[in-house]
Structure 1
Amino acid sequence: MKRSSRKKNKRVNPKDLAYLTLMASCIKAFNPKLSFKQVKRVILDIVWFESNVTKILEAAENKTGTDLHFYRMTIADLRNVSEHVDWLQMLQRLFDSVNVTLTPEEPVVLNELYYFQTIVEFIMKNTSRHTTYNYMIWRLIRNLGPLALPKLRELSFRISQASRGVKKDIPLSTRCVYYIGDVMDFPAGRLYVERYFGKDAKKDILDLVNELKDAFSASIRRTKWMDRSTKRHALEKLDNMVKLVGYSDDLLNDTYLNDMFKEVTDAERGQPFILSYISFRKQWSKINLMTLHKKYNRYEWSSGPAVVNAYYYPQVNGIMFPAGILRPPVFEYGVPMYINLGGIGAVIGHEVTHAFDDTGSQFDSNGNMQNWWTNKTREKFLSKMTCFKEQYGNITDERLKVKAYRAWARKHKVESLPGLENFTADQLFFISVALTWCNNPRPRRLQHQIDSDVHAPSRYRVNVPLSNMEEFSRAFKCPKDSPMYSKRKCVLW
């Protein structure tokens, strides 16, 4: 009996086809003598390995959730986690490059125990060295190959095209800048700061951070669901929060920057870019290894300033706003404060409240993982968090920016914006909030974000929080039956 044509002509997903084509081309480029059958065998081997790693990762998430976990032990204790590896010998090989000696009593922290145990067991018992080698080489070529060969760049672009709907590839010069920023983020950041970011802007942002912190402090004091003890610890945590804005002052020190990469001696002008990148990547890894046995500095920057992002680090109880995000439409020096409060104010408020979300709330004022909540208050907190999770998946209350704006407006005369006199200051504040997230993603790009990003799509990061706010409804006179008027309003702070 003949197979049906439908089954025979089953089409491969375009994304998978692009991925497999790139893999086949990489394998052939690495070893041109391999036959078609040999290439196919290697591909199936790698795909088998990747699919099993994915299954183990999913099982770990189902078993332990996505919350932060910390398992403190010693290198000697790792033998109890998995006896298949000589952990001291393996780790010592890494640290030999920076002349750091490890002992069996060296403290180790794992943030995932089940995954660690299972993946080591899988590799040691079910995977040949040949398979592991092929997988590691594939990941190396996958990441660096597009830098070396035009054909691999083209095939890599096809994957982006199939998975995210990208229409045009990034120019090679721009791609090189990204890679330079990856391994030389401080020197590259120095150039960015000197050209685009002034000291006056840094002062303005610090003032905004203080406005937001004052507003949050007042909210905590007024909160009725928190008991006195938990409030005291919350206020202490807010007061002790580290604020890093714009850039590190070390960035302007030539000696500091030169010392950072003085050991890179094999990068020469005119050599292939990929070789220079690898040299600087090795040095950056050494810089990280050398921090072992050194006292941690809560005020140390973990990235350069040319980054369009903002961060809250629970382990240090610190917020960081690199210079890269402090530009339009998020922030613009000299515009009315209500515009900046809607833009960067929303970003600052979002990061500050991360200190008190379901993850950040597990850490104290110094960044130690320690419970400072009473059981009763913790139960109320988790109950209120459920409302936000059910609404749109994100669990930060976005009201802080509104409270900061209200506090500022009470102390200052609010002037209209030339050309936009038909809008009130309140309306322009909320428009500025929305403008920060304004985008129009292609369907495949949106689906990719939904599949891979913990954050809700931009439309919902704007519409859902604003529909929770009476202030927004009053500003735009939203009818109670309109989409932007939520009947069930989630309130935390």
Structure 2
Amino acid sequence: MKRYLLSTLTLSVMAAFASAADNVHTAAPVAAVSGIDTQYIDPAVRPQDDFFEHLNGKWLKATEIPSDKASWGTFMKLRDDTLPQLRGIIEADAQSPHKKAGTDAQKIGDLYTSFMDEKKLEALGYKPLTGELQRIRALKDKKGVPALIAHLAQIGVTTPYGIGVAQDAKESTKYAAYIRQSGLGMPDRDYYLKADDKRMAETRAKYEQHVATILALAGDKDAQAKAKAILAFETDLAQAQWTKVELRDPEKSYNKIEVAKLSELTPGYDWKAALAAVGIGNKVDYVIVGQPSYLSGLNQILNNTDIETLKAYFQWQLLREYSPFLSKAFVDANFAFYGATLTGVTENRPRWKIGVSTVEGAMGEAVGRQYVEKYFPAERKARMEVLVKNLLAAYKESIDNLDWMGPETKKQAQDKLAKFTPKIGYPNKWRDYSKLTIRADDLVGNVMRASTFAYNRNISKLGKPIDREEWGMTPQTVNAYYNSRLNEIVFPAAILQPPFFNMEADDAVNYGAIGAVIGHEIGHGFDDKGSQSDGDGNLRNWWTAEDRANFKAKTDMLVAQYNAFSPLPGYNVNGELTLGENIGDNSGLSIAYKAYKISLGGKPAPVIDGLTGDQRFFMGFGQVWRTKMREQQQIVQVKTDPHSPGQFRANGTLRNQPAFYEAFGVKEGDKMYLAPKDRVTIW
């Protein structure tokens, strides 16, 4: 996900492994604070039966999900705690009488000002979109569709396919153009296609009415009939689309096709016009198509759909994207479906919070630069570097000792591990927003220009060297990520706070919390997807057939375990969709435990608050997954999210850890117990 602050010291993994002594980095001396929220422990639930409920039970019983949230827990609370800090930065820029035109501060402040001017937005209604609506209505025939799709994509509007630039998955030293499926207004194809699911049927009916409501607000007198046609069109798109499980296969999603041969996939569709309209027509001779069968299906759908339905669909997608930036009637209608219906939220977020998110979406790194200067102490980064080194050392040791992998594959795995690049806190090089124009009296124009700026910045990468300093998240993001093509792990500044990273606490909780996060992200380099790329970021098979078969046998067991978990009656976790994240959790916690032992340097861990070091380690892991979720949002998560629900990320991971059994005396007959033959240990 994203990382932040100062002068990002990129660790040289090769140097870190230069000698055995360099691999051992002992814990920093800290006060004897456990870092465990013992106030939330429910003594009525045994840790051997339900560790998540035992550790978080009192919190789960006492906590109400805030009315403007679909879920609530450690991630969301930390994000919510960060928002006032960001608000202070942004409002200071907005109110400064000395800000110079063209500076980041002027743009941040004026964008926020334009969003908060509700009186002006109310007077404008949907007038700021008049020009774009007229552009769509002026579409005379389907020959104009490719250019229209390109234009709408540039201003951030969902279209039936997306064109973007990323590293070529099989030639990671250069950028390539990608074409991928898109086009839906609901979260997943299941919302359109599940005929036997009552909740989905009800949501479809409400979606159709919502489309009609928005079209009517924009003056369409035939809104109801058009909404019906739009739903039918999107249902056809959904039918042609790949499932989220299918999308996880990097080999099947890599289809290198010469531009001249795209017409074989979509006869009659003018890709020359489409690529020219996005500015890459003369820059590429091939594209990488993610889902070829979808493009073929889309071509037939476009051929079979009348021009008026297409125009209605494009108008709807434009209005859908920009409703949050129009008058109150649009804002409220948008929230009624995308907030209340889809996620169960009963109240929209305060306007200032949405304004902060809007500024972050447009100029996230400019805000992040000020955030890290004010809120990210250098000592956090220094201590985090020690944890990362110990996690990498633990992975190195673990690979050497694997009993299911042969020496040839181990050599390749070690080569990949040695090439990992950690990024901590914030980027070395900040994003340049000098070409972005922001005006205090033009919210919709600001959002369009920001979308176009980001789109053009992406497209402009073609033909340039790979930017290895770029971050995919802002420093103020409460998250982390692994990027297989750069083979990097990234940890933004904002996640380096309690309960993930506690500077005042003994290291046991930190290794169980942020240590497991570090291990999780490294683990993505060796999960079912990441393990298909090498240390240079190229998609290639570096495994022997026997070792890959052994790996698959283990991951199949993990799929079966998670398929059995059900957060709601009738809705089970999808073990295949969540496999990569479950491998990350499984491996991350296992390796974090080994790294914790490395950090002790052979010395015994202290007992704090009556808890051993091992107990605090696993409790540190369990408490970061503290979360509650509304039923509607839980369904969205199960259908769309590659992450398992929090309670299963905790319990499902712990049940596979031998050291957990020893720390808490878990025995046969306990509900957390899995027979040794059924436990999955991968890395």
Tell me if both proteins adopt one fold, taking TM over 0.5 as the criterion.
Answer: yes
Contact 1:244 1:299 (C-alpha < 8 Å) held by counterparts: no
Partner-residue secondary structure (3-state), 1:108: strand
The unaligned stretches of length 5 or more in structure 2 are 1-197, 563-574
Per the TM alignment, residue 179 of structure 1 is displaced from its structure 2 partner at its CA by 1.6
Cα distance in 2, alignment partners of residues 439 and 12 from structure 1: 24
Partner of 1:146: 324
Structure 2 contact 429–469 (Cα < 8 Å) conserved? no
Corresponding position of 2:75: none
Calculate the aligned-residue CA RMSD, in Å.
2.2
- Give the letter aligned to residue 191 of structure 1: Q
Equivalent position of 2:309 in the other structure? 131
* 3-state SS, counterpart of residue 53 of structure 1: helix
Evaluate the alpha carbon distance shift between residue 93 and residue 113 of structure 1 in structure 2; reply closer, same or farther with a 3 A threshold. same
User: Which residue of structure 1 lines up, in the alignment, with residue 150 of structure 2?
Assistant: none
Task: For residue 344 of structure 1, report the CA deviation from its aligned partner.
Answer: 0.7
| TM-fit CA distance, 1:13 | 5.8
Q: Take 1:11 and 1:185, find their aligned partners in 2: how far apart are those partners?
A: 36
- Rounded to whole Å, the distance in 2 between the matches of 1:11 and 1:477 is 42
**Secondary structure of 1:76's partner?**
helix
Q: Deviations over 1:166-197 (max 9, x none)?
A: 13211111112112111211101112212221
Residue 611 of structure 2 corresponds to: 423
Does the alignment pair 1:209 with 2:388? Answer: yes
Distance in 2 between the 1:413 and 1:188 partners? Answer: 43
Which is richer in helix? 1
- Deviates further, 295-304 or 482-491: 295-304
Partner of 1:402: 593
Shift of 1:273: 2.3
Distance, in Å, in 2 between the alignment partners of 1:199 and 1:344 is 17
1:242 aligns with 2:413: no
- AA aligned opposite 2:537: G
**What SS class does the counterpart of residue 449 from structure 2 fall into?**
helix
Q: What runs of 5+ residues in structure 1 fail to find an aligned partner?
A: 1-9, 252-256
1:268 maps to what in 2?
439
Once structures 1 and 2 are overlaid, which stretch shifts more, 158-167 or 15-24? 15-24
CA distance in 1, matches of 2:299, 2:385: 46
How far apart in 1 are the matches of 2:496 and 2:340?
Answer: 30
Cα deviation, 1:125-181, whole Å, max 9, x if unaligned, reads 211232222212212211211221212222222222222221321111111211211
Cα gap change, 1:447/1:302 in structure 2, threshold over 3 Å: closer, same or farther?
closer
1:137 aligned partner, one-letter code: Q
For 2:402, the equivalent position in structure 1 comes to: 223
Q: Deviations over 1:375-407 (max 9, x none)?
A: 111111111111111111234133122221222
Tell me the alpha carbon deviations over residues 351-388 of structure 1, each in whole angstroms, 9 at most, x when there is no partner. Answer: 11111111011101100011110111111111111111
Matched-pair contact (CA < 8 Å) for 2:655–2:672: yes
8 Å Cα contact 1:307/1:324 also seen in 2: yes
Contact 1:73–1:108 at 8 Å: present in 2 too? yes
Deviation at 1:61, TM superposition (A): 6.4
Paired with 1:199 and 1:133, the residues of 2 have a C-alpha distance of 53
1:412, CA displacement in angstroms?
4.9
Residue identity in the other structure for 1:307: T
Corresponding letter in the other structure for 2:447: Y
Q: 2:286 maps to what in 1?
A: 107
Deviation (angstroms), 1:460: 0.6
C-alpha contact 1:180 1:277 (8 A) present in aligned 2: no
CA-CA distance at 1:303 after TM superposition: 2.8
Q: How many residues of Structure 1 are paired with residues of Structure 2 in the alignment?
A: 460
**CA pair 197-28 structure 1, distance change in 2 beyond 3 A:** same
2:248 match: 66
Q: Which residue of 1 aligns with 2:519?
A: 349
- Distance in 1, matches of 2:624 and 2:291, equals 35
In the alignment, is residue 450 of structure 1 matched against residue 644 of structure 2?
no
Within 2, Cα distance between the matches of 1:16 and 1:375? 45
Residues in 2 aligned to 1:300 and 1:261: alpha-carbon distance in whole angstroms: 14
Three-state SS of the structure 1 residue aligned to 2:256 is strand
Rate the CA distance shift 1:234–1:204 in 2: closer, same or farther, 3 A. Answer: same
1:414 corresponds in structure 2 to 605
Separation in structure 2 between the aligned mates of residue 293 and residue 65 of structure 1, nearest angstrom: 27
Going from structure 1 to structure 2, the CA distance change for 1:261 and 1:129 (only over 3 Å counts) comes to farther
User: Could you tell me which of 254, 261, 264 is aligned with 1:80?
Assistant: 264
- Structure 2 counterpart SS, 1:109: strand
Using the size of structure 1 for normalisation, the TM-score is: 0.88
CA contact (8 A) 2:240 2:294 kept: yes
Q: Deviations over 1:260-312 (max 9, x none)?
A: 222234x322x142322222221111111111110113342223222122111
Task: Determine the structure 2 residue equivalent to 1:491.
Answer: 681
Contact conserved, 2:340 with 2:346, CA < 8 A, in 1? yes
After TM superposition, give the deviation of residue 92 of structure 1 in Å: 1.5
Match in the other structure for 1:4? none
Percent identical among aligned pairs is 28
TM-score by length of 2: 0.64
Corresponding position: 1:364 with 2:534: yes
SS in 1 for 2:504: coil
Q: 3-state SS of the aligned residue for 2:260?
A: coil
